[in-house]
């Protein structure tokens, strides 16, 4: 009886000493490792290019998501330009303040 108890205790201790298995890799991590975006709805031809066009060659009307992304990128461009201009103005002010003698 005591021998069984010792064996169970030894088994329990051996389990704690084993290295833990690595958690399974998430699909987003695998896609990033392959050089893709983490989700399937990320940027790329399946999201950005039109699915169809008219037979006379005209493009299809933009989707709501495309219009939203265009607006978001336009806002981001305006913000970047404004910050860049303010940075340049600050640099000019600083250089005009400290002219070498």
The tens digit of pLDDT for each residue in 52-83 reads 889 998 989 988 988 998 999 999 999 999 99
Residue 99 has pLDDT above 70, yes or no: no
Q: How far is CA 52 from CA 49, 65, 87, 95, in A?
A: 9, 16, 44, 55
Domain range annotation of the chain: 64-101
Q: Which pLDDT belongs to residue 83?
A: 97
Residue 26 DSSP label: P
The pTM of the full predicted model, rounded to 2 decimals, is 0.51
Residue 33 has pLDDT above 70, yes or no: yes
């Amino acid at each position: 009886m005591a021998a069984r108890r010792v064996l169970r205790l030894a088994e329990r201790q051996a389990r704690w000493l084993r290295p833990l298995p690595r958690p399974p890799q998430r699909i987003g991590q695998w896609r990033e490792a392959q050089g893709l975006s983490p989700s399937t709805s990320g940027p790329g031809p399946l999201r950005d290019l039109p699915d169809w066009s008219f037979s006379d060659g005209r493009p299809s009307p933009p989707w709501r998501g495309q219009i939203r992304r265009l607006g978001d990128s336009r806002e981001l461009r305006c913000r970047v330009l404004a910050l860049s201009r303010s940075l340049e103005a600050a640099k000019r002010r600083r250089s005009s303040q400290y002219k070498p003698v």
